[in-house]
Structure 1
Amino acid sequence: CAGGWKSVLCFLFLPGLAFCYSIINGPTNATVLAGSEARFNCTVSEGWVILIWLSNGSPVLTVSSSQGPFETSDRFTSQNYTSSSGFTSELIIHNTQLSDSGKIECSVQGADSKFAFLSVQVNGSLSIKNSTLTVKENETIEIFCEALGWAPAPDITWMTNDSFIDKSKYVTQQSQGSNGLYDALSILTLTLTDTEILTCLADIEALPNPQNASVTCIFVNSTLGNACTVLPILRTVLFALFCFQCLRLMTETIPNHPSVRTSQVSQPSGRRVSRQTKLAALIAWQGAEVTGHRYTASCDDRVHFTVMFTLQ
């Protein structure tokens, strides 16, 4: 008889619990970067006994109203808050991984469960092969921007001088690897008329700001390019003419200079040294402050000579 009464009391008591408490606020969706924390709150009214957190259908943490949380993994912990509106359990997922993405559920014994979705995203790398390019007039260029190891696939856009480039100017290809991560290659095709900084941007929801990579395209006008080639040649020709004129004048005025008492010229056998070449040595010697000075010079690869000067 006693056992019968206990059964009846339990039957009457347990169904009553289902209507005495409920989940007031369930968890909300969250998007985080891999490696960071994800937090979910679940608030229940007074009278609850057991609260269970589940990740993709598997229990990861249990909270008892009398004994507190039972944590079985360092990656899943909780914080508890009590207020006039009820009891709040906060699930904290540490060092989130791509595999944590999915359904996060708060379940209370005898009450309906509430759930939300967690999206763990991976911030990969972004690069442009060259940081600087030289672009000629009327030249069409292709700039390659490569994104590796992202999840989900990033949204790639291009900018120039703080303005977005029309999407018709570039094409982006995406592929997913066996690890679940995405790679993308975006190719921008342009014909520039001026020096510009081109920026490739990759964005996913979890990033506070898009990741970016830039390249400086230096525009070279064809007219200026030809001038850069002609000017060195012109300078060489003018310098040669100037030297020739100086030698001609010195040839006419210096041979009988009174400061030169003797001069001795040595040269390879069978070679003749021109008068202008000898005068070049004399001109160099005139700046000397010593009594005797030896000057060695070469006219070309075939003629080398030495001149000794002595002051009177």
Structure 2
Amino acid sequence: MYVFRLGLFLLVTTVTSSQAQLQPLNAAVLRGSKAQFNCSTNQPPSTMTWTVNGRLVISISASGVLNSTDRVSVTNFTKPGDYRWEFSISNVQRDDAGEVTCQVLGGAASKATLSVQERGSVGIIGGNQTKTEGAQTAFQCQAVGWFPEPNVSWSVDGVAYSCNTSSVTQGNLFNSSCTLPVTAVKSSSVQCLVKIPALSTPDSSTVFLTVVKLAKIDQTVLIAVTVAFSAAALLFLIIYGIFFFCKRRKKKSSYQEELRRARIQSQNRTPATENVRGRDNRGHRDRHDGHTTDRVWYTNHSNKHQMPGDFFDDGHSNHSHMTML
């Protein structure tokens, strides 16, 4: 009978112990910080053990807590109907990452995963910028010394922008960079945000873009400049026209004067005798009543049309000379 009762007790204990639950199932913490897990059961366990990556780090029994260290501890938060213990690892290191288990005597182990991450630095190269309105610029963010590979994004005046991140490894850490092209429209605050699971809020770096608007020219000044330029151009055209007209007129007058001089010189070179030689002396002797009459007339070769009355139509009168013999 005693053996039966003992077997029944162990069976009930095993069933109730198998209901142990571990929270959280995935924990991501920064190196050097504290990792905490909670293990709870419906019945008070006779023995509870904790392991990290298969290494026994602490155990709990009716006699107390065993194997606790400065870095590893357990705290009892049991209350009626809820038997709960909190397991903590202080100053977490990269080799603590892995599997964490909580197990009660006779029950299955409840497992969780611990991720130990590295927090690096974040900065925007070049700092604040001042650009004219409409100009193109770019901001480059650098995240150095992170693990795992960080997620890098941008925020401009609170509006989120994603970007393509490029990363390289240095040892077991990541160096990442991301570039944001911007058109200068208005003055804005620009933030680079870097996030890893161990951070509840992303780390950020903030710079400011100052946009300078081009000064608008006063309309009156613009009109005055336009009128002055137009007047100067018109005056230049008038002066050039007068100069060209006078030069052409002078050239024409000189040409006419040269023609007149050439005509006068040509006339002066012609001798008067040539005009005399140009006439024919025709004589005719008539006899009347025993007298002989010589008739002489001159003809201008330039016009030989004979007209009645012994005249030639050359614009000159022909003279008749009578010689009495």
After the TM superposition, which residues 201-212 of structure 1 pair with which residues of structure 2 at under 5 Å, given as runs? 201-212=193-204
Aligned to 1:49: 46
| Pairing 1:144–2:136 present | no
Report the AA paired with residue 190 of structure 2: L
* Aligned pair partner of 1:178 in 154, 168, 171: 171
Cα distance 1:27–1:209, how it changes in 2: closer, same or farther (>3 A)? closer
Q: How many residues align?
A: 214
Give me the identity figure in percent. 28
| Pairing 1:26–2:18 present | no
Question: After TM superposition, where is structure 1 displaced by more than 6 Å over at least 4 residues in a row?
Answer: none
Report the AA paired with residue 124 of structure 1: G
Q: Distance in 1 between matches of 2:67 and 2:49?
A: 11
Query: Bigger radius of gyration, 1 or 2?
Result: 2
- State TM-score, norm by structure 1: 0.59
Q: Is the 8 A contact 1:20 1:47 kept in 2?
A: no
- Report the Cα offset of residue 27 of structure 1: 3.0
- Report the Cα offset of residue 77 of structure 1: 0.5
- Report the Cα offset of residue 174 of structure 1: 1.8
- Report the Cα offset of residue 12 of structure 1: 5.4
Secondary structure at the counterpart of residue 83 of structure 1: coil
Q: Is the 8 A contact 2:48 2:60 kept in 1?
A: yes
Aligned to 2:65: 69
Report the AA paired with residue 81 of structure 2: S
| Pairing 1:87–2:80 present | no
Report the AA paired with residue 198 of structure 2: A
Secondary structure at the counterpart of residue 26 of structure 1: strand
Cα distance 1:220–1:19, how it changes in 2: closer, same or farther (>3 A)? closer
Aligned to 2:92: 96
C-alpha RMSD of matched pairs (Å): 3.1
Q: Structure 2: which 5+ residue stretches go unaligned? A: 218-325
Q: Is the 8 A contact 1:22 1:45 kept in 2?
A: no
Cα distance 1:198–1:26, how it changes in 2: closer, same or farther (>3 A)? closer
Any idea what the Cα deviations from partners look like across 1:85-113, whole Å, max 9, x if unmatched?
Answer: 25322111112223322221001221111
- Report the Cα offset of residue 132 of structure 1: 1.6
Q: Distance in 2 between matches of 1:209 and 1:120?
A: 17
Aligned to 2:180: 188
- State TM-score, norm by structure 2: 0.57
Secondary structure at the counterpart of residue 112 of structure 1: coil
- Report the Cα offset of residue 22 of structure 1: 3.3
After the TM superposition, which residues 225-236 of structure 1 pair with which residues of structure 2 at under 5 Å, given as runs? none
Aligned to 2:32: 35
Q: Distance in 2 between matches of 1:208 and 1:119?
A: 14
Report the AA paired with residue 164 of structure 2: V
Q: Structure 1: which 5+ residue stretches go unaligned? A: 1-7, 227-312
Q: Distance in 1 between matches of 2:215 and 2:38?
A: 66
- Report the Cα offset of residue 75 of structure 1: 0.9
